[in-house]
Amino acid sequence: MAVKVKPGGKVLGIVLLLGAIYAGKVLWWDKRPQIAKEATEIGRVALPDAPEASLAGNASKLALPEGEEVLNGGTKISWRVMAWNSQFALMYANGGPKTVKNSLIDKAKLQVELVRQDDCNKSLADMVKFAQDYKNNPNATGVFASFMGDGMPAFFAALVKELEPLGPDYQPIAFYTMGKSYGEDKLMGPIEWKRDPKTAIGKSVAGVLRDGDINILLKWAGDNNLRVNPDETSYDRNAINIISANDFLDAGAKYIAGYKEKRKLIIDGKKTSQDTVISVDGVATWTPGDVNVAQKKGGLVNIASTKEYSAQMPNISITIKKFAYDHRTDIENLIMALAQAGDQVRSFNDAKAYAAGVSAKVYNEQDGAYWLKYYNGVEEKDAQGLNVQLGGSMAFNLNDAANMFGMGKDNIDRYKIVYTTFGDILTRMYPEVMPNYPVYTQVVDKSFLASVVSNHPELLTGTAIKEKYADNITSEVSSKSYQIQFETGSSVIKSGSHAVLDEILKSAVVAEGLKVGVYGHTDNVGNEASNQRLSNERAAAVKNYLVGRGLAEDRIESKGYGDAKPIADNNTAEGKAKNRRVQIVLGQ
């Protein structure tokens, strides 16, 4: 099977630049269709047993589109898509590789051709060519593309230079998200890494450098206070090392084949001339790379994935700013079509199966049953008898998209946090390749989605994806201690620690699939009872801060352990300082 990107594809890329808002609705309001309630009419067909159903009660089930391609005279769009199940809403809405009669996109008076393109470099070139063509010919077919959200800072960092000669109106913008990876992108490693993350120190992970799946490794390592060696030519026994893969399948293939390579040894923080040989201990990949690992060799389990880091990898839709603003009504009608399609896919099993069948046609690979299986996600035994979760994606409705961009009830802009989190990580790790990246306000244009949310409340009847959290954490994915400063003998957090708490918040938002444990610890100064009370109060203070910033209260558990769990010698000042800590656990 083909892969999402070629080597380094997410580094080369595009910068999304936000320009001034188009001068008023008067230029587009009159031609804007005002009737959009048919698709969400309540009271016709009872929902089947769809586990992630978004429409509640007796909801309207749309007739599946007919198989005939349609020429409706609407705006033409050519959309570059990776072979990725997060696009089920688009597959359903279009009805085929080209827009099908009576599909939601047909009703929106658009003509969309879906073109599989796993090579992001080629999608980049297509976007550049389109911008050039559109400047010379306003009737040129529009070009859209879909990419992994966490890879966007790297992916878009270079294209701004390519498009600068055309002027700011011809920069790309992100305008919507139709779904997300929900388990299929993952870090796989020996089961010991799951039990004790520190056993990954000195080991090596194969993956595509500066890519979305490697980002999972980086977050997991950061949340467990583990270092990652950014130099793929050296070996650091005190860090996790990365072995460069040509693509996602190559990452798994290297593990399966027992691949080894020679590296220069790092000693005392310096790269020496001494050689050592390393092999592949873990893999950062996506479906079907994980399937290949499980079936052909086995021995690796899911350490962390986009099921746990469930906000990390939304499917982001982009086009050129000038085209979007010239076709504002078309863009908003497209968003409405995709939102309705997301509700249908989420709520009706035959709509989901229909989207899977369209995926097989668009990707020209496998069949609908294959894509449906890995959209849902499965647990299977690998070649060594270990249970492994494979696949997993989710379609978005309008509420989901609004939540991703900070328009939901909690006002958390999840995508802003994802974008800046991984942009900052990559600029720190690879300053010579990516010294900076465009700020969020240059990248995302929310005006199209905001207009739909404001003017079409009937499309918000679908329930957003809601994570279910256990009452108590019984299985840790990551654990990290923070030195949060409190007033002496008090649970009042000093203002200087707010930045640390905001970092904890960002980490929790990206890992939206996990419960957050906030555990307070003290040194052994004072009596046991007072230490227990103080640690409880300080953990509760951190929880209250996070709740105040938008995290759901039932997602956070807080408790104090007093001085019962020291991590250093309480007989020294340095040890006491380490023991006065707040431990943040992400788990299930």
pTM: 0.86
- Written as six digits, the tokens of 117 are 């393109």
CATH label of the domain that carries residue 536: 3.30.1330.60
Q: Which residue has the tokens 């000093």?
A: 494
| Of 401, 435, 460, the domain-final residue | 460
Backbone angles phi, psi at 490, to 5 degrees: -135, 165
Residue 302: enclosing H or E segment and its boundaries? Answer: strand 301-305
pLDDT tens digits along 474-490 = 999 999 999 999 998 89
Q: Which residue in the block uniquely carries the two structure tokens 């050592």?
A: 276
Band of pLDDT at residue 155, cut at 50, 70 and 90: confident
Q: What's the pLDDT at 51?
A: 59
Which pLDDT belongs to residue 488? 85
Summarised one tens digit per residue, pLDDT across range 361-419 is 999 989 999 999 999 999 999 999 999 999 999 999 999 999 999 999 899 999 999 99
The per-residue pLDDT for 158 is: 77
DSSP 232: T
| Structure tokens that stand for 49 in this block | 């047993």
472-475-479-485 Cα dihedral, nearest 10 degrees = 10
Nearest CA to 68 out of 91, 90, 98 is that of 98
**Within a domain: residue 375?**
no
Same domain as 46, residue 157: yes
Q: Read off the pLDDT of residues 212-227 as tens digits, 9 standing for 90 and up.
A: 899 999 999 999 999 9
The C-alpha atoms of residue 344 and residue 397 are separated, in whole angstroms, by 9
d(CA 310, CA 379): 18
**Same domain flag for 298 and 335:** no
455 and 503 assigned to the same domain: no
The verdict on residue 10 lying in a domain is no
Let me know whether 360 and 242 are in one domain.
Answer: no
Instruction: Tell me what the mean pLDDT of segment 245-254 comes to.
Output: 91
Same domain flag for 272 and 217: yes
Please give the order of strands across the beta sheet that includes 270-279.
Answer: 234-235, 260-267, 270-279
Query: Do 281 and 298 reside in the same domain of the chain?
Result: yes
Share of the chain above pLDDT 90, in %: 76
CB atoms within 10 A of CB 582: 26
Contact between 394 and 347 (Cβ < 8 Å): no
Report pLDDT for 454. 96
Structure tokens at 96: 């085929």
Q: Where does the pLDDT of residue 466 fall: very low under 50, low under 70, confident under 90, or very high at 90 and above?
A: confident
Local confidence band at 128 (pLDDT 50, 70, 90 cut-offs): very high
Which residue type does 55 have?
A: L
Per-residue burial over 261-289, b = 16 or more CB atoms within 10 Å of its CB, e = otherwise: bebebbeeeeeeeeeeebebbbbbbbbbb
Question: Which residue among 407, 428, 460 closes a domain?
Answer: 460
Percent of the chain topping pLDDT 70 = 91
What's the number of domains the chain is made of? Answer: 3
Whether 378 is covered by a domain: the verdict is no
562 Ramachandran zone, left/alpha/beta (phi>0; psi -120 to 50) = left
Tell me if residue 311 falls in helix, strand or coil: coil
If asked whether residues 487 and 573 sit together in one domain, one would say yes
CA distance 493 to 90: 47
Q: Measure the CA–CA gap between 35 and 171, rounded to whole angstroms.
A: 32
Q: Rounded distance, CA 222 to CA 503, Å?
A: 11
Contact 304, 220 (CB under 8 A): yes
Q: Is the peptide bond before 288 cis (omega within 30 degrees of 0)?
A: yes
> Residue 318: exposed, middle, or buried by beta-carbon count in 10 A (0-12, 13-18, 19+)?
buried
Q: Choose the weakest-confidence range: 26-35, 123-132, 455-464.
A: 26-35
Query: Which amino acid makes up residue 63?
Result: A
Same domain, 496 and 454: no
> Residue 413, CB half-sphere, CA atoms under 13 Å: how many?
11
Are 170 and 43 in the same domain? yes
* 235 and 138 within one domain: no
Residue 82 lies in a domain: yes
* Residue 426, domain member (yes or no): yes
Domain co-membership, 323 together with 455 = yes
- CA torsion through residues 16, 21, 27, 32, sign: positive
Same domain, 248 and 146: no
Band (pLDDT 50/70/90 cuts) for residue 574 is very high
* Closest listed residue to residue 300, CA positions, set 405, 429, 390, 180: 390
Q: What is the CATH number of the domain that holds 120?
A: 3.40.190.10
Confidence band, pLDDT 50/70/90 cuts, at residue 58: low
- State the CATH number of the domain containing residue 263: 3.40.190
Domain that holds residue 568: 476-587
Q: Is residue 402 part of a domain?
A: yes
If you compute the radius of gyration of the chain from its CA atoms, what whole number of angstroms results? 25
How many angstroms separate the first and last alpha carbons of the chain? 32
Determine, yes or no, domain membership for 410: yes
